[in-house]
Chains A and B, each alone.
Chain A
């Protein structure tokens, strides 16, 4: 028989019951982890056409300190190899062709970050910092965040602030172009970034939660990409030149709904709008369905759509007579859209010896970047269309 929707009277009584202390466990996200937590993840990212490949190794550990503090540490190593787009040029027929970086390179990026969160009765305060290093790029950041529970923990306000300082020291390698143009420069450059977040999350009822946050970012310094070039028909190749600052805004709203009748499945829907003063506006819609099956198995199909408008100073290349103060042909600043879909499968074991939880997860995601997927379909041209797939496997243990 068809199961009917909950009668409003029952919903009202349930809502009043959920205000009773100790009855929130189903919708409450759960705060202090009074357990030791370890995560190990491996990911393999591969772009089509033998472009970039990345192997990602990640370890995250968290541990309680006393009753009201949690410390965490996160280590990441990326091993990157392959070629990436460098500039575009029009051929004799006027078709735009993309030129990739020459020889295959192998690079490694190591990052470490750690944080400390202190939980008060109705609030939490966190501090963190991180450092990442690769041969030509060093980044340091600090962050702080606070959350305040209101309204019997049905409402949570979140605040965050972070600052980053990056140093870019391009290696001489690959700076000389096949046509002899030499952009060799190992000049030290830097950029600073700051970001602020204001958010609210609201438990609507036992089965649903909505959260929304606004972030504001400001970046200044060297914001260009030292490995990207721009082709001018009149002058040949020039290094990528971008404005010295960038203001950005993003607004993310997420709605989570549990369906008891489908074995406690949950639907997550996210929408994000992003805009910056370089002229890039983007929309992201992300849907995922978290379906518990049985015996700790869970399957999560996911779908995402992304669309962005190009930056004001982007062009695939610059034609005869065209001049510009700032200019870029970086495909990430072009107009395009992307569709991605994936599926994750996990199996959770509970109460094995001293472990309170052991969870294995494997996933695959396919991403397709096409100029024609842009909303309205006025993409910047199909020459930089590409796709990638991402395989992940992880194990999580709680003690």
Chain B
């Protein structure tokens, strides 16, 4: 008889939940341990907060003339980053993380135009030299940041790991991004909800998801109020300023990583983001800056 098991844990700086049906507690614990081990491994490799991570080593070698060797997984992430860059008119740029130095939390003043202009030359995916074997950031101070990709990718990897362990019914959530392992044993989807960007304890949409993933991007908790204006954490690599136009975007797609990138690109496109989403025929929920909700979820969600 299948029993439902719930695990809550913290990874990648976010609260995470894993819920699935398994035959025994022993099996469930084994699956949970495998999932946590894999996510921890991804975090160790790609977290920019860890000095010993691969990302920190790549960033530390920027401008020194020393290339950093990479493995197949990192190469695939770089290829994926390249694809996002091309599909977003160069708005989705994994080198734009340096801007966070100016828009860190807790500041009370806007950065100066001079500060921003001083940083912009260090941004630009097209400057990065990378191959299947290694990567090199040619300018001192350049940074690579897979922050907008790895958490969603980890959800996909975790779901597929569960499937490999014989779990066919379950759901994993990593900091608000959701990937379905398989529908509930009765064949129905799992209930998922999208939080209100302004009132994180409330939800703005609720539906059942049978397969695929749901990922969101927006100014949820990570923003600063400066002179009464709310500045989000999604930064335009061309202007150096936080984007404005959409408050939050949620996307349903087959893979969590794709849903997450589409949501981020829509945010980066600011006022053009909504129109862009509509041409893609994806299932999305978009919250405009004035609070208006545009919901296409009924279209693609069962």
Contact A13-B84, Cβ < 8 Å, known A20-B257, A22-B156:
yes
Shortest distance from the beta carbon of A398 to any chain B beta carbon, whole Å: 9
Q: Tell me the interface secondary structure of chain A in the complex.
A: loop
Shortest distance from the beta carbon of A6 to any chain B beta carbon, whole Å: 8
Contact A10 B299 (CB under 8 A): no
B122 contacts A by Cβ under 8 Å: no
A-B pair count, CB < 8 Å, reads 95
Contact A9 B87 (CB under 8 A): yes
A186 contacts B by Cβ under 8 Å: no
B249 contacts A by Cβ under 8 Å: no
Closest to B300 in A: A3
B281 contacts A by Cβ under 8 Å: yes
Q: Tell me the interface secondary structure of chain B in the complex.
A: helix
State in angstroms the CA–CA spacing of A9 and B269 once bound together: 15
B87 cross-chain contacts in A, Cβ below 8 A: 9, 12-13
Q: Which of A1, A25, A264 has the most CB of B within 10 A?
A: A25
Closest to A3 in B: B300
Contact A10-B166, Cβ < 8 Å, known A20-B77, A22-B156:
no
- Tally of contact residues, B, Cβ under 8 A: 41
Complex partner residue of A295 from B23, B186, B211, B212, CB under 8 angstroms: B186
Binds B, one of A101-109, A192-200, A306-314, A349-357: A349-357
- Tally of contact residues, A, Cβ under 8 A: 33
B280 contacts A by Cβ under 8 Å: yes
A4 contacts B by Cβ under 8 Å: yes
Contact A13 B258 (CB under 8 A): yes
A187 contacts B by Cβ under 8 Å: no
Closest to B168 in A: A350
State in angstroms the CA–CA spacing of A12 and B83 once bound together: 8
Counting from the closest, the 3 A-B pairs by CB-CB distance are A16-B83, A4-B281, A351-B23
Where the two chains meet, the residues of B that have a C-beta atom closer than 8 Å to any C-beta of A are: 2, 21-23, 72-73, 76-77, 79-80, 82-84, 87, 153, 156-157, 160-161, 163-164, 166, 168, 186-187, 211-212, 253-255, 257-258, 261-262, 279-282, 298-300
> Told that A10-B258, A13-B83, A352-B23 touch, could you supply 14 new A-B pairs with CB distance under 8 A?
A1-B298, A7-B281, A9-B280, A13-B87, A13-B258, A17-B80, A17-B153, A20-B73, A22-B160, A23-B160, A23-B255, A25-B160, A152-B72, A264-B211
